[in-house]
Amino acid sequence: MVTVRLPEEIDVANVAGAGLDLAAALRDGPAVVIADLTGTRFIGAAGAGMLAGAHRDAAEAGGHLRIAASAPVRRVLAITGLDQHLAVYPSLAAAQAAAANSPTACRTGPSRPRPSLCASSATTSPPSSPKPATP
């Protein structure tokens, strides 16, 4: 899990830099990237589009984007309907907890094995009990 803190304002003037920060984190291959917008007070249409693109890029790479967002950012995401497609949380702690409890928080592969992460986040199922025979 990697957290990328984004700027206080995201608009057409700085959206490329914010997008590059998220792209770099996704390129490193973590299963979950958290975009920390808890300190972001303004996000324009360009910023909302950048988040949608980062979400798509994460999904195409087999990962997940979680968004920890301030109230103003959550409002923009709700108005645009993006909150229906993105995993948005009201705090960084909530996004981190959701990512840690997700069965997809651990992703391994030949290029980026993460055995220590997988061991700590693996879930086990209780053994199944035999079903009683029906008469």
Tens of pLDDT, residue by residue over 83-106, are 999 999 999 999 999 988 765 543
Predicted structure pTM score: 0.74
Distance separating alpha carbons of residues 10 and 37, to the nearest angstrom: 10
How many structural domains are present in the chain? 1
CATH number at residue 104: 3.30.750.24
Tens of pLDDT, residue by residue over 23-40, are 999 887 778 999 999 999
Q: Which structural domain range is residue 64 located in?
A: 2-108
